[in-house]
Amino acid sequence: MSIIFDKEHNLFHLKSEGFSYIMQVLDIGYLTHLYWGKPIRNFSSFHKSLHDAHVNLDALAQEYAVYGTGDFRTPTLEVQQENGSTVGELKYVSHVIMNGKPSIAPLPSTYIEVPEEADSLIITLADQASGLTVELTYTVYQALNVLTRSAKLINKRTDGEYLKVGRALSFCIDYEHSNYELLQLSGAWCREKHIYRRELVPGLQSVDSKRGFSSHQQSPFIALTSKNTTEKNGEVYGFNLVYSGSFLAEVEVDQFYSARVQMGINPFDFAWVLKAGESLQTPEVVMVYSDKGLGQMSRTYHRLYRKRLCRGLYRDTERPILINNWEATYFNFTETKIEEIATTGKELGMELFVLDDGWFGKRDSDNCSLGDWIVDKKKLPNGLDTLAQNIVNKDIRFGLWFEPEMISPDSDLYREHPDWCLHVPERTPMSTPSQRNQLVLDLSQEEVCNKVIDMLSNILSTAPISYVKWDMNRPLTDMGSAKLAKEQQREIAHRYVLGLYHILETITTKFPNVLFESCASGGGRFDPGMLYYMPQTWTSDDTDAVERLKIQYGTSLVSPAITMGSHISASPNHQVGRTTSLDFRGHVAMAGNFGYELDLTKFSEEEKELVKSQVAFYKTIRPIIQFGDQYRLLSPFEDNQTAWMYVNEDQTEAVVFFYRVLSKPHTLFTKLKLDGLNPFYNYQINDSDVILGGDELMDSGILPENLHGDFASCCWKLKAVKCCKE
């Protein structure tokens, strides 16, 4: 059992192979945090015995903080009673220790397959005056060195009065000092998940999204790192929220220079009416401690998310190499043109063709037809089912683009059901070009969710579709619902997410053989909540290989390569206008789920041969990249060079990528030191006569060669040829 309760001192010790997490119930009932860090054997010295007269709530390290009784830091929970009071005081009631991990449905979460994988602790706290009970759930994945937390709020009043929840974050943890740096992943559309680090200072520092989805601008991930932490050294505390809506992650440094970390549903414009007997479940946060730098933290997240967040047939299946027609044709295509691209893709070794936007309604631009999921017979006169079957008959799979959460004002569906979009009755909903000329369906309405499910089911059941690209191209505005009471209007953002999760659970269960890929104008909703339903995400709409170095490097801090869509597109690039070689674009795109987004039919024979060799080579390294451990070697945020590598589980195979952005005069390459290899193995380099020891490759390094000009790259494939273990 990885959770121990010391009854004499009311101490909880949660432990894995890599950490200890210790809490105590004080004599007066408060649940206090004592320690999280390297594993320790004996925790008896941690206990405290505090009575009312000795407790300063403004300094007490807490596990779930409330407002109004002496703690003046930002609370985790704020609840208003019908009498208007927001004062709260949570005290310990009971606890349960169990094998396994309870579900927090209807929200997604990490999971187990057998009870022995994890142990869970549920601590019940109660505010006697308000009738509110809070159940804190802690789960320890012992072998994976992961701790997850969430909270469930229950109104147990017996007089029928409601409670109004204004703030309900998923967790709170108080550190005894603030000598850390805050690491965050921030950016914009086409510039997602750039790494930023800053020292903590007194006061609040936070990242959040108010956009209704996790957003391009901020990611629901932060980490506290010790000063000068690197990939291989230093302490890291990582926090990742399994949620796809508006979120808040904040760190507050108080007057005593201690730090409080909290994360959860964004309390901005949020209020939830909790009627007697009802409950509200908060999203799960995945907490990872590393004493060996950012690299160890990342590989922990990667292993967990590959095996115990992603689900279904494709969790353990190599992902297909695809060709998508979007940047080849945009909205302007014919049935013949689509079949030509698919045929060329098959000839070059690709395994999946994806028909993107423009196949339905009167969709010749982005200003109409969303919601009218009926095939455009002008473009596809023989129907979608015939086109899909013709392509499948070429021995290449068929995939399709949808944007199911949206509706165009110029659509039959909107004209029939104008109340099905998010809107405030007195206001005209916004559908300007900056909002893609579209509105957002109100997924807080059950009727709307059922319509989306029926629409998707009808199409997926009438054509041989094996892949779906699920897009979402604008944030949520006009936050009003025609079906919710006025006191519930501030519930809409969260209810939208719950409706989305219901749709995704239903559709992915109904069509288990379909590979679903999430997209939100690229990486606008690349979060673990979506990965629970869709095991891969389109990383960014920016397909420029140079920009992708930073985007993919930052994304890899939390997300494994198998979840990252990464494609070769045209040159000059359509987003930034940069010209790069097919080789360079290929080496960048291979660091994820590989594919192409361009018109293959316009390629020269020489280019086609290069593409064919890229596809064939990727198939040989695909299992290493998609299921191996990633090691980041050189950061694009720090230098002109970038490098990363992937190593399979038994350390017998590896693949290394090195990239140089700009060529500079009088610059000598230094050896690139590798990582993650077995020092006692010898490795053959690129199937050549060169054989080097794992220790030499890691301690001395390997020299990049034959790089010329700007935007140059190389790749090494390593294979263990003999073992020299002594």
- Supply the residues annotated as catalytic: 471, 541
Residue 312 CA to residue 532 CA, distance in Å, equals 9
Tell me the CB-side half-sphere exposure of residue 151, using CA atoms within 13 A: 24
Q: What is the longest distance spanned by two Cα atoms in the chain?
A: 83
Is residue 388 within 8 A of residue 463, CB to CB? The reply is yes
How far is residue 108 from each of residues 279, 505, 583, 596, measured CA to CA in Å?
17, 9, 39, 31
Lookup result for tokens 């021995």? 395
667 CB burial (10 A radius; 0-12, 13-18, 19+): exposed
Phi, psi of 376, rounded to the nearest 5 degrees? -80, 105
316: closest CA among 144, 515, 122? 515
Q: Is the peptide bond before 665 cis (omega within 30 degrees of 0)?
A: no
Distance between CA atoms of residues 173 and 34, nearest Å: 10
**Three-state DSSP string of 602-662:** HCCHHHHHHHHHHHHHHHHHHHHHHHCEEEEEECCCCCCEEEEEEECCCCCEEEEEEEECC
> Do 305 and 144 meet the contact criterion of CB atoms below 8 Å apart?
no
Cα–Cα dist 238/240, whole Å: 7
CA distance 181 to 205: 11
d(C-alpha 704, C-alpha 677), whole Å: 18
- Alpha-carbon distance of 369 to 366, in angstroms, equals 8
**How many CB atoms sit inside 10 A of residue 386's CB?**
14
Query: How far is CA 594 from each of CA 288, 350, 680, rounded to the nearest angstrom?
Result: 29, 10, 32
Looking at this protein, which amino acid is placed at residue 354?
V
Name the nearest CA neighbour of 2 among 17, 10, 33: 17
Kind plus residue range of the DSSP H or E element containing 386: helix 383-392
Pairing of strands 536-538, 564-569: parallel
Q: What are phi and psi of 127, to 5 degrees?
A: -105, 100
Q: Report residue 506 as tokens.
A: 């239903």
Continuous segment of H or E residues that includes residue 289: strand 285-290
